[in-house]
């Protein structure tokens, strides 16, 4: 099926998917612990009948049972060498069931391995893994692709890119969200939609994790920024256990359909069911939808950029937005020196500071001599995305550098810049389109900088028309006003403001400029920059590339927006004014003796959190853990030791308080999984360095042991690995048995290691019941320690039902749970 044909199908109204595969096959006799794909091939008649029943119920798109048929997942069963033929044969099963009455989607999901920098797998390796499976699915004759149950936006990007690089079949992309409305890696629904639809996904949505009622708010958020249809494929409620110890899903087909109505009202056009959803659930859903009309797919585009965890909307009539300019080595000797040494400490610091100072977007430029710019740009993108939620503006003179950065960037970025010069335009426009990036357009042609306003505007018009022909919308272009210095051209500011007004009022284009060029060569440049900024905002300037730590500039922008009565500008101005007043409360009054004696340095910052010692400033060791500064932590510990601080005091005064505060920020959704992992890894490195220096105190008790494992049949271990890391950081002895571990192995190890706690993880609802097996095995073998559980679909009520001693929703909470149980 072509993408245009698929769009026609979607335009006609609702499109219905199938229901659950795993839970229905388990009910039909599939045992746990087997390779699902292999079992299906050996019992194909069961799968064919299930999918026929879904088609009879109204399913228009069947998911081929290729969910985990990638190299890594099949490798867990020693079947990786059969990957191609298995995928082909599994598609054939669904083709037989569809019998021409439904489309067949090649189904792909996560590999279970973490991507760099949190894990060891590099992005291109993952793309290759997905390409391998996608090529097999195409060979099998799938009509389209579905990428589902994704927890990582970056992994979803890798799968979309892999498919797009081998074919142009339609793509459905679906993520699973936690109870807090974000994925495991902190992605919100809007950022997921913005990133994936710009990359070329034809439908974007969510599946699994929750019942229909738990999806409504997230579907509304996706729909608010969507230009493609939105998918909702919920579970039939959250799993429960009946009196006979069997898992069931409590939402009846009638209730499923009734709650599905609310999903349609929220904006869902593509609907189906996940865990627990039977053909009867789909039948009732289809019948209910027959009485409704879908909400229209938005055709009007918004100007949207995204990072992995956040997004920014750029509006022509909104407040001025700042692109932070500081991550650029031009004129910064210290940054140049660090980059030549391979250090990115300043880059991380600049990213954090600019976000705190009010930048909405961060420009990243690695252009300096003495380094490999492409290699350093890639490293900078990885580092900045770990410490900041701001979308990035990729800034380079070299197309190959821009492309490499866009490829690994886990969001929708802005390119700085694309000019009307033939070679650059022809190279960069296809790159922008492939990766779905917005771009700054520089109205410079092969003849150089335009000599007149008429020539400049003619270039803008020509580029706009050429982009339209190539399928690029005007909302993807942001025009640079080409700021010249007023010292050389007295009308430079007037020319720019004329261009801003023309772009906004006549062409509906957003605009941007670098402010500081206007004042080059003049004294007291900040005053000229501020006055020009006010003029530019009034004329229609949308974004400015500037240093957000310049208070005069930022406050002038906020005041100008307020005077122009832009929405939200009054609160923004008042907030900035209060912040300014507090920061300068102790400044000497102008003209006083104190003012004359005052130095130019910044006042010491007030301590944050509990790792301050007796100082008013935050301890550097504490701060390094809070910020995940792995490269700095050993040196900082050594400095602290040289000041006479004992190794165990560094741990108790700075490291433990820092990781506690990180956990608190994680609970409050101010930190997300990447920051949590970075901080935990930093602490682990520090403790490994300090522990050999700590003398064992007489009378100190034995270290408590925790045995952890992912239960039998489940090969997911991201959450488990993080729990192990956090527990080790708190001083526990952790025995990690890995994934897909039988109950008897877990309890045998707990008894042999004299473990105080057994920790169990399961991601899939189909493997949750194996936790109950462990509880029963513990009772049978006389294990007296505590058993705790966790995982995406696991709840506290489930823990009570199976007789576990506790439940934790994440790694930070698990540490507190273990402390409480062992107190």
Task: Show binding-site residues for Zn(2+).
Answer: 208, 274-275
The closest of 617, 618, 727 to 683, measured between CA atoms, is 727
Phi-psi region of 587 (alpha: psi -120 to 50; beta: other; left: phi over 0): beta
Distance CA(332)–CA(261), nearest Å, equals 58
Distance CA(587)–CA(387), nearest Å, equals 31
Looking at residue 651, the DSSP 8-state letter turns out to be I
Kind and range of the H or E run holding 137: helix 123-140
Q: Give whole-number Cα distances, 720 to 562, 656, 727, 737, in Å.
A: 49, 21, 11, 10
**What's the maximum distance between 2 C-alpha atoms anywhere in the chain?**
92
Contacts of 604 (CB under 8 A, 6+ apart): 616, 617
Q: Six-digit token pair at 354? A: 């600019």
Residue tagged 């890119």 (tokens):
161
The bridge status of strand 61-63 relative to strand 103-108 is parallel
Annotated binding site: 208, 274-275
Q: Using an 8 Å Cβ cutoff, are 421 and 338 in contact?
A: no
Distance CA(495)–CA(481), nearest Å, equals 8
Distance CA(139)–CA(415), nearest Å, equals 36
Residue tagged 């994440």 (tokens):
810
Looking at residue 739, the DSSP 8-state letter turns out to be S
Distance CA(112)–CA(91), nearest Å, equals 23
Q: How many CB atoms lie within 10 A of CB 28?
A: 12
The bridge status of strand 321-327 relative to strand 361-365 is parallel
Looking at residue 604, the DSSP 8-state letter turns out to be P
Q: How many CB atoms lie within 10 A of CB 389?
A: 21
Q: Give whole-number Cα distances, 355 to 326, 389, 556, 589, 668, in Å.
A: 11, 8, 18, 30, 19
Interior/surface letters 752-772, b for 16+ CB within 10 angstroms, e for the rest = eeebbbbbbbbbbbbbbbbbb
């Amino acid at each position: 099926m072509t993408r245009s044909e698929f769009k026609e199908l979607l335009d006609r109204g609702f499109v219905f998917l199938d229901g659950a595969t795993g839970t229905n096959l388990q009910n039909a006799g599939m045992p746990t612990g087997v390779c699902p794909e292999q079992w299906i091939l050996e019992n194909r008649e069961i799968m064919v009948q299930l999918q026929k029943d879904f088609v009879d119920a109204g399913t228009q798109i069947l998911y081929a049972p290729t969910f985990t048929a990638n190299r890594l997942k099949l490798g867990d069963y020693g079947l990786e060498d059969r990957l191609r033929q298995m995928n082909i044969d599994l598609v054939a099963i669904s083709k037989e069931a569809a019998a021409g009455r439904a489309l067949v989607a090649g189904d792909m999901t996560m590999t279970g391995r973490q991507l760099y920098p949190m894990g060891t797998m590099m992005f291109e390796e993952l793309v290759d893994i997905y390409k391998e499976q996608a090529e097999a699915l195409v060979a099998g004759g799938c009509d389209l692709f579905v990428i589902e149950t994704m927890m990582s936006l970056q992994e979803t990007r890798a799968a979309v890119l892999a498919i797009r690089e081998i074919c142009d079949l339609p793509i459905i992309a679906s993520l699973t969200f936690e109870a807090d409305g974000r994925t495991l890696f902190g992605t919100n629904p809007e950022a997921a939609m913005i990133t994936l639809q710009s990359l070329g996904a034809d439908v974007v949505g969510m599946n699994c994790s929750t019942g229909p009622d738990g999806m409504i708010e997230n579907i509304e958020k996706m729909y608010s920024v969507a230009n493609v249809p939105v998918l909702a494929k919920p579970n039939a409620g959250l799993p429960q256990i009946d009196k006979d110890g069997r898992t069931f899903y409590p939402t009846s087909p009638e209730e499923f359909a009734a709650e599905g109505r609310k999903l349609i009202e929220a904006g869902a056009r593509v609907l189906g069911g996940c865990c627990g959803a039977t053909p009867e659930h789909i039948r009732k859903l289809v019948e209910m939808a027959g009485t409704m009309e879908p909400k229209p797919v938005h055709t009007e585009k918004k100007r949207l950029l995204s990072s992995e965890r956040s997004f920014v909307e750029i509006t022509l009539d909104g407040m001025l937005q700042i692109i932070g300019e500081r991550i650029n080595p031009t004129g910064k000797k210290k940054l140049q020196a660090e980059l030549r040494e391979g250090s990115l400490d300043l880059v991380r610091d600049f990213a954090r500071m600019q976000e705190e100072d009010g930048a909405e977007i961060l420009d990243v430029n690695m252009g300096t001599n003495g380094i490999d710019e492409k290699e350093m740009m890639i490293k900078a993108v990885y580092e900045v995305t770990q410490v900041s939620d701001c979308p990035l503006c990729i800034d380079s003179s070299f197309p190959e550098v821009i492309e490499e950065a866009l490829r690994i960037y886990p969001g929708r970025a802005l390119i700085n810049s694309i000019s009307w010069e033939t070679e650059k335009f022809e190279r960069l426009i296809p790159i922008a389109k492939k990766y779905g990036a917005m771009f700054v357009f520089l109205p410079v042609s092969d003849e150089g900088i335009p000599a007149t306003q008429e020539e400049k505007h003619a270039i803008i018009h020509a580029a706009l028309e050429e982009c339209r022909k190539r399928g690029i919308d005007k909302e993807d272009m942001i025009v640079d006003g080409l700021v010249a210095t007023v010292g050389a051209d007295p009308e430079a500011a007037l020319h720019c403001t004329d261009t801003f007004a023309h772009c906004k009022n006549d062409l509906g284009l957003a605009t941007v400029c670098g402010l500081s060029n206007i004042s080059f060569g003049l004294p007291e440049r900040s005053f000229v920059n501020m006055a020009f900024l006010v003029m530019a905002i009034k004329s229609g300037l949308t974004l400015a590339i500037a240093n957000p730590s310049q208070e005069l500039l930022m406050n002038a922008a906020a005041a100008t927006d307020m005077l122009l009565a832009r929405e939200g500008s009054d609160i923004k101005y008042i907030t900035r004014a209060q912040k300014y007043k507090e920061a300068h409360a102790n400044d000497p009054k102008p003209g006083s003796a104190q003012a004359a004696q005052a130095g130019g340095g910044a006042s010491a910052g007030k301590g944050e959190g509990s790792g301050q010692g007796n100082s008013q400033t935050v301890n550097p060791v504490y701060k390094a853990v809070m910020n995940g500064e792995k490269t700095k932590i050993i040196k900082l510990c050594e400095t602290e030791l040289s000041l006479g601080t004992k190794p165990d005091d560094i741990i108790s005064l700075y490291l433990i308080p820092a990781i506690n505060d990180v956990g608190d920020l994680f609970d409050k959704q101010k930190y997300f999984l990447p920051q949590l992992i970075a901080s935990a890894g930093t602490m682990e490195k520090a403790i490994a360095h300090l522990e050999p220096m700590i003398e064992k105190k007489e009378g100190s008790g034995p270290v408590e042991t925790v045995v952890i494992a992912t239960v039998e049949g489940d090969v997911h271990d991201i959450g488990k690995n993080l729990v192990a890391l956090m527990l080790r950081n708190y001083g526990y002895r952790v025995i990690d048995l890995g994934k897909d571990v039988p109950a008897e192995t877990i309890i045998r190890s707990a008894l042999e290691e004299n473990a105080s706690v057994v920790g169990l993880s399961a991601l899939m609802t189909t493997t949750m019941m194996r936790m109950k097996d462990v509880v029963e095995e513990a009772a049978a073998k006389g294990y007296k320690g505590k058993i705790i559980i966790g995982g995406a679909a696991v709840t506290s009520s489930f823990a009570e039902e199976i007789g576990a001693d506790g439940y934790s929703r994440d790694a930070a909470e698990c540490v507190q749970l273990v402390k409480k149980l062992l107190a």
